[in-house]
Structure 1
Amino acid sequence: MSGTVPAHAVSRCGAAAARRPAAFTCRASPLDKIRDALLGGGRTAEAEPADLEDEEDLGEMASLDGMDTPAGTEDAALLVGFMHDEVEHFRAVLDDMGADMVAVIPASPSMMGGTLQSALEAGPVAYQQPALGQRRAVVLSGMYTSEVLEVISGYKDAGLPPTVFAAAVPKNFESQLSDVVESCWKDQMVAQQRAALGKLGESIEEA
């Protein structure tokens, strides 16, 4: 939304919920099994293998792999490559979720050459149309895993354009924003290829 969320971060969901309006609470997600398999945490050994259908969605979450603790102190969503109406639609989605405390920052072309940290700390900025061909990405900051998954779910339910998600974490905070976005898309491509190979293998076995 790269970065990894340890199992203990998920267990702190209650603490996270305590500092948020009631509407933005932790809830079960259909992607929990995939997340647990990625985390390498206490529940990994017990987790059932994710089915191939879910694995196709994994590409959009590949950047969560490696995340430890949320970077930054403020809840923020950095939107890269989005049109103005899409930014406003996303803002409305957060409002409907009761997550209006999350700062929505549309990335300007000039931000792409700076660090992820500088983009996230830019605060409210006037919208600037992204460069032609700029691929979309959503970078979430200051959120726990459960909250990230809730935002992803709300995004998909709203019918917003396909994108990749990354989580701002200490190890990517100083990375160039354009590199973070490129890494996310590479992660997604690898995940999609893995899912396609899995389906091919399954088809061969059934033949």
Structure 2
Amino acid sequence: MISAKKIGLYFGTFNPIHVGHLIIANHLVENSDLDEIWLVVTPHNPHKKKKTLLEDHHRLAMVRIALEEYPKLKASNIEFDLPQPNYTTNTLAHLEEKYPEKIFSLIMGEDNLKSLHKWKNYEVILDRYSIYVYPRISEGTIETQFTDHPKITKVDAPIMELSSTFIRKGIQSGINIRPMLPHTVWKYLDEMNFYK
């Protein structure tokens, strides 16, 4: 009997994906019981068109090329076809239906855990899914209901203070940000003239 594959879901706009995302995802898949991590590219909300947000297919393409050398990390566009605005709870239900043989967990930064009590159906999510939390430097406190929760595992991952916003601003200012991106992603951005 083959045991079900454990999949960690790492959501983000990945605008663009950078080495910080890769370090966190790779650290988690190598130092936990997760078999794979899916980097789920969040589509832009049609009602909130952000000028700085690249088209969905470009962000997905960058995630795919960034993960080419990481067999345990996969790019996912599962949310692209879901009605907007979408909620994590809907995505999880959709994934369970599509992949009943897999066990899904959530991956989030400590900053997101601090606002988890504001998420739609967060009690249902906590009841049904494990959450892996990586450290982030952020304001605020974690709700006491989450501090010793049996479904929440704190992972001792490196603290990454690198952000996509910082990278986009750097590109606009003409600063060399190449070390912050996987080489293939930097090439893609440069050839497409993105964020300039």
Same fold judged by TM-score > 0.5? no
Higher strand share: 2
Question: Between Structure 1 and Structure 2, which shows a larger proportion of helix residues?
Answer: 1
TM-score, structure 2 normalization: 0.28
